[in-house]
Every structure is written in C-alpha cells, then in structure tokens.
C-alpha cells in the first residue's frame, strides 16, 4: 500500500505534489538574527523594542528572494543604522536555531563593530539601542536569552536543557 501511494504521488504534476506537501507538513517562518559584538568581544549590541519588556537582538523576517545573510544585514541597518555589507557577516555556529514550539527558524550571523559607531534607531520598531557588557547584561527577552545560550552568552548559558528545547 505504501509503495502504491508513493508511486501515485510521484506521478502527479509537480505543483500538485508541492501543494499536498505544504498542506500536510508543518510550515516554519524563517528569520535572521545579527549578533553584533565589539572587536574585543566584551560587549554586545542589544535593542529594546516595544513593548519594552526586555532587550533583544537585531533581527527580522526574510523577504521573498532574500538570502538569510542579506536579511541579517538589512535588519541591522534598519534597526540600528549600522550598514554593513553581507560579506562582513559570518554564519554563527550553530547557524540555524529551530524553534519547534513556535515553528520558526532563526538563521544567526555574527559580526564585530566598533562601539563608537553612531546608532540610529527606527523609532517605529526600536525604543533604544545600546552596547552592553557581556558580564553585565540587562534583562533580556526569554527568546533572546534562549538564543544567546547557544553561544554561551547570557543568563541561560549554563543550562544545557535550554539549548536542547
């Protein structure tokens, strides 16, 4: 029965197969995150966004036709005024953080920037942007704390179960 189902499925036109797969498989939203540190790796750039309950990282959803690294560079520029070419961003390790409960994937990129660079925030999206010492971080959003734990940063860095969630 299973073999017959597969044979039938692969005889269908490609667009029908895609529609069937998209109907029955979970879908994920793809976003890109920029982890921006100073060259000495002692400070990190964080944003306070509405409603302002905690600090987060420059991030956003990919536009159609955009690559994850282009998205990370675009979001960094839109939210902080820091314009970097995508070539200045490198894939973090791990590069993809899959959030199965919320069904989204964060593609994470790292870069270094001198803290003296002028920050120009988009007031529609960002209340404040500031550099923070890694050993004295402000209150972070839960999702930011969980993401940074993958890179041994923040309040959850010593909790391996957070990285596995």
pLDDT, tens only, 79-95: 999 999 999 999 999 99
* Confidence (pTM): 0.83
Q: What CATH code would you report for 26-164?
A: 3.90.79.10
Give me the chain's average pLDDT, please: 90
CB 103 within 8 A of CB 31: no
Tell me the three-class secondary structure of 62-114, residue by residue.
CCCCCCHHHHHHHHHHHHHCCCCCHHHCEEEEEEEEEECCCCEEEEEEEEECC
Structure tokens at 27: 């879908």
- pLDDT the model gives residue 165: 53
Higher pLDDT, 46 or 158: 46
Q: Is 52 helix (H, G, I), strand (E, B) or coil?
A: coil
Number of helical (H) and strand (E) elements in the chain, helices listed first: 5, 7
Q: HSE (CB half, 13 Å, CA atoms) of 36?
A: 31
Distance from C-alpha of 150 to C-alpha of 144, rounded to nearest angstrom: 10
| pLDDT bucket at 50, cuts 50 / 70 / 90 | confident
């Amino acid at each position: 029965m299973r073999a017959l189902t597969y044979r039938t499925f692969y005889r269908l036109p490609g667009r029908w197969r895609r529609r069937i797969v998209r109907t029955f498989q979970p879908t994920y939203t793809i976003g890109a995150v920029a982890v921006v540190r100073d060259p000495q790796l002692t400070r990190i750039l964080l944003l306070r966004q509405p409603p302002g309950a905690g600090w987060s990282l420059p991030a956003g959803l990919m536009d159609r036709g955009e690559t994850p690294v282009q998205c990370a560079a675009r979001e960094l520029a839109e939210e902080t005024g820091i314009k970097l070419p995508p070539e200045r961003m490198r894939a973090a390790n791990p590069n993809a953080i899959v959030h199965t409960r919320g069904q989204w994937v964060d593609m994470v990129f790292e870069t270094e920037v001198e803290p003296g660079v002028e920050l120009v925030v988009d007031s529609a999206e960002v209340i404040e942007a500031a550099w923070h010492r890694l050993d004295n971080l402000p209150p972070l959003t839960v999702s930011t704390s969980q993401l940074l734990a993958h890179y041994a940063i923040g309040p959850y860095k010593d909790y391996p179960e957070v990285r596995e969630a």
